[in-house]
Structure 1
Amino acid sequence: MSVLPLRRRLSVLVALVGCAVLAPPAARASAPPPAPAPVAASAGRAVAAGVTYRVFDLPTSRGTARVHLLSADLGDPRVSVGLLYPGVVAARAPLSRLADGAGAVAGINGDFFNLTEVQHPGVEATGAPVGPAVAGGRALKAAVPRAQRFGPSLPPGTNTRQVLGVDQDGRARLGELVLRGAVTTPDGTLPLGGLNQYALPVGSVGVFTKDWGSVSRLRSTCGTDSDRGAPCSAETYEVTVRGGRVVAVAGTPGRGAIAPGTQVLVGREEGARHLRGLAVGDRVQVSHRLVSAGRDVAYRFAVGGFPVLLGGAPLRGMDGVTSAVRTAAGIGAGGRRLLLLALDGGEGYRSGLTVVEVAELLRDLGAVDGMNLDGGGSSTLVARTGGSAGVRVLNHPSGGVERAVPNGIGLFVAP
């Protein structure tokens, strides 16, 4: 449901920080986008040079949503953006711990992730995120198949490969990162189907590196390209490669930390049959990289999610009915302005917003492009306040406490 009827009734509650009045989302997804609502230059409180924070209330027909908003000036050479994560893909930690560990001044939670495995009894949930991830210019993982994702339904025309990132020029942008890789064996070359993913395409071979962590790799062979809850594959194989040669083989995916310079190949169905032809001592070469689809863009940082705003217009066909506590990011000023917001999940605010309303809100705050991130109990916004050396949680997570998450978007300010 659009918040159009509430336009004249919007008032910004001055809470936690001083802030100016903002106009609410006004147009439906199918309407031409209006000019962004003005935001007074005095709004917000400085977290650090180039980063401000404010909070305001947004009335809707279902109740009031409280919005916590960070604004980062990426045109300031002191300000940068980075991936917050626990050091490996398949692990989780509270966002405040991730931010303090990395030295971030503020941040929000990131991608949806493999939280539970109730459909596969005995299979360990990996905690790994859905989409691609890039940290410090290095590819950590690729995207799982669309049907294997967690989170709300994707808008038409979108996919699990889409990211919010920052390029080598320091500009924020939305994009799509595609895995390009191959496994070369004595019998030929196979395309690589996955990189540090909790779910591999049916019939494929995926590679796991030290960036995966120590969690079991079994989940990668469960479900199918059309059904996340389908049984785990009955035909799997694992090959460990070190120094360009096979050093171990196994009939089922294993667990445990992977040493630097070692690669573990996991195959399912046809991929398993190809790997089964390898023996200890055979030469194997594995190559992989994430490439930008459509445009040649190199990312310093990227995190998965799904777009809700493109070119100033909310995407068509999005869910305008289901309301929830959400986290989102918006891009404006030609990629030089990054908006990070998380809704409050405290008592009285749990009705949240629909994804259509989130897109409209980002637009009215000045964003041209916007990404929806993991919400519900994961929605968390942290920042340093009052000159403190560490961050604190500024919204109220809907679960009452911080949920451990696999990654987040961190804001950094150089001295």
Structure 2
Amino acid sequence: MGTLAGAALVGGTPAGAAPGWTAVAPGVTYRQYDVTAAAGVTHVHLLSADLTDAHVRLGLLSPGAVAARDTVSHMAGRQKAVAGVNGDFFNISEAQHPGVAPTGASVGPAIADGRILKGAVPDAQRFGPALPPGTHTTAVLGVGADGRAHLDDLSLTGSVVIAGRRTPLGGLNQYALPENSVGAYTRVWGSASRVRATCGSDTERAAPCSADTYEVTVRHGRVVSASARPGSGPVAFGTTVLVGREAGAQRLRALAEGARVSVRYALTSGRGVAYRFALGGYPVLSGGQPLPGLDTRASAVRTAVGLAHGGRTVYLVALDGARSYRTGMTIAEVAHLLAGLGATEGFSLDGGGSSTLVARPPGAASVTVRNHPSDGSERPVANGIGVFTR
């Protein structure tokens, strides 16, 4: 572990533009500084959002569909955020499945403005570094109806009811479905192909695509069409597309055109919180202590979130990817960095070329990229965390 020299210089919530901080908007401040970690010096970009300010809120930055990507600066500009960072890991490549295009969809659950967008893919189907022991793709960072930020788990619960018989719903707008399951796709999925949902397995992301699939289109509660292979294209308003694999495909094959079908779903919070906003990643800090088993070897450019003061203060962190600062930090070092800021809970987001932090300069009408992304320019990503003022 390095000295994390710069971390000791930051602590607590700055009042306005405290020394070393720049005011982005009332209740939102920004600073940058160097940290000496095990692999060398890295440059930290840090946003602080005060959720006790009634004018400050966090929300999901979205490209407009679950299966789509966009840059953080463009999403923030379109949604009028004053600052933000990139979000969840996502389906970025499909080299193991020839002919199958990556969807760009995120790994974990997502909620925007209180609306459920998607569930989490199976653990083995995720992209990104290995999860810390005991954590799952259902892990989220969210802001509840109480106005506080929380770390939580959101599990999909739902069913498909056919002629009074209930089948568990295995997925919602996900790029990967559990084996033998049925998943639902709504208009928020976008136009990407749904074939990827039937590829991989519950134990291996690179496993072959299923040879036993079936898709049914339900409009206003009745089956209107079916296909042996998952399709693509936009899902119309009032329409749900059901995709089945293996045993799930067999259940869908029994449906005749005109059959009545109802689909119900929810994301169940492990903490019993109703969320206005949530997105996936994985926890690294709990009760002010790094989680056991965090990696101490691989240094990389990172994006992370720290929660302080009972979730009333949120720190958004992105490391610099410029050549002189590309040594990065290990996940264990990120957890210590967040603790040094005064955070009691910490959450890791997508890193590497995805790491991006944007904020409005004083007096400006739009955000600019504050860190230097590793790819030399912004990478389009699945979603992000936006900081909004009103």
Q: Aligning the two structures, in what range does the TM-score lie when normalised by the shorter sequence?
A: over 0.9
Matched, 1:239 2:222: no
Query: How big is the shift at 1:43?
Result: 3.3
Cα distance in 1 for residues equivalent to 2:37 and 2:240? 51
User: Aligned residues, how many?
Assistant: 387
User: Paired residue for 1:195?
Assistant: 172
Of 269, 276, 279 in structure 2, the residue corresponding to residue 303 of structure 1 is 279
Q: Secondary structure of the residue that 2:327 maps to in structure 1?
A: coil
Aligned to 1:328: 304
Asked whether 1:207 is paired with 2:184, we answer yes
CA offset at residue 100 of structure 1?
A: 0.4
Go from structure 1 to structure 2 and tell me whether the alpha carbon gap of 1:38 and 1:47 turns closer, same or farther (over 3 Å shift).
closer
Deviation at 1:38, TM superposition (A): 6.4
Cα distance between partner residues in 1 of 2:20 and 2:368: 21
- After superposition, give the CA deviation of every residue in 1:326-383 in whole Å (9 maximum; x if it has no partner): 0000100111000000000001111100000000000000100010000000000000
Q: Equivalent residue for 1:17? A: none
Shift of 1:98: 0.1
How much is the aligned-residue C-alpha RMSD, in angstroms? Answer: 1.2
1:11-410 aligned at under 5 Å gives the runs: 12=6, 22-23=7-8, 41-186=18-163, 188-293=165-270, 295-410=271-386
Cα deviation, 1:2-40, whole Å, max 9, x if unaligned, reads: 12xx36xx3x5xxxxxxxxx417xxxxxxxxxxx95687
CA contact (8 A) 2:23 2:362 kept: no
Instruction: After superposing the two structures, state which structure 1 stretch, 56-65 or 140-149, moved more.
Output: 56-65
What SS does the aligned partner of 2:217 have?
Answer: strand
Please give the residue correspondences for 1:3-14 in structure 2 after superposition, counting only pairs within 5 Å. Answer: 3=2, 6=3, 10=5, 12=6
Q: For 1:93, what is the secondary structure of its paired residue?
A: coil
Letter in 1 for 2:365: A
> What runs of 5+ residues in structure 1 fail to find an aligned partner?
13-21, 25-35
Provide the secondary structure at the position in 1 that maps to 2:8: coil
Moved more, 52-61 or 301-310: 52-61
> What residue identity is the alignment partner of 1:355?
I
- Shift of residue 42 of structure 1? 2.9
Which consecutive unaligned segments of at least 5 residues does structure 2 have? none
Distance 1:166 1:42 in 2: 28
Deviation at 1:402, TM superposition (A): 0.2
2:333 counterpart SS class:
helix
Q: How far off its partner does 1:242 sit?
A: 0.7
Q: TM-score, normalised by structure 1?
A: 0.92
Note the C-alpha offset of 1:120.
Answer: 0.2
For residues 230-281 of structure 1, the C-alpha deviation after alignment (integer angstroms, 9 at most, x for no partner) is 0000000000001110000000000000011100000000000000000110
- Alignment partner of 1:112: what SS? coil
Q: Provide Cα deviations, 1:197-228, integer angstroms capped at 9, x if missing partner.
A: 00000000000000100000000000000000
Q: Distance in 1 between matches of 2:320 and 2:11?
A: 22
CA distance in 2 between partners of 1:160 and 1:38 (Å): 30
Counting aligned pairs with the same residue, the percent is 59
- Deviations 1:79-137 (Å, cap 9, x if unpaired)? 00000001110000111000000000000000000000000010010000000000000
Q: 1:75 to 1:37 in 2, by over 3 A?
A: closer
* Cα 1:38–1:99 shift into 2, 3 Å: closer
Q: How far apart are 1:187 and its partner, in Å?
A: 6.5
| Conserved? CA contact 1:23–1:38, under 8 Å | no
Using a 3 Å threshold, how does the CA distance of structure 1 residues 72 and 251 change in structure 2: closer, same or farther? same
Structure 1 pair 331–39 and aligned structure 2 pair: CA distance change class (3 A)? closer
Which residue identity does 2:323 align to in structure 1? E
Amino acid at match of 1:319: D
Distance 1:362 1:62 in 2: 18
Question: Is contact 2:59-2:113 (8 Å) kept?
Answer: yes
Question: Could you give the per-residue CA deviations for residues 146-182 of structure 1, whole angstroms, max 9, x where no partner exists?
Answer: 0000000000000000000000011001001010100
Is the Cα–Cα contact under 8 Å of residues 89 and 211 in structure 1 kept in the other structure?
A: yes
Measured in 2, the distance between the counterparts of 1:332 and 1:409 equals 17
| Counterparts of 2:98 and 2:12, CA distance in 1 | 52
Native 8 Å contact 2:37 2:333 kept in 1: no
> 1:206, 1:137 → 2: CA distance?
21
Looking at structure 2, the residues matched to 38 and 222 of structure 1 have their Cα atoms a distance apart, in angstroms, of 46
Contact 1:183/1:191 (<8 A) preserved? yes
What's the TM-score, normalizing by structure 2? 0.97
Partner Cα distance (2:106, 2:226) in 1: 27
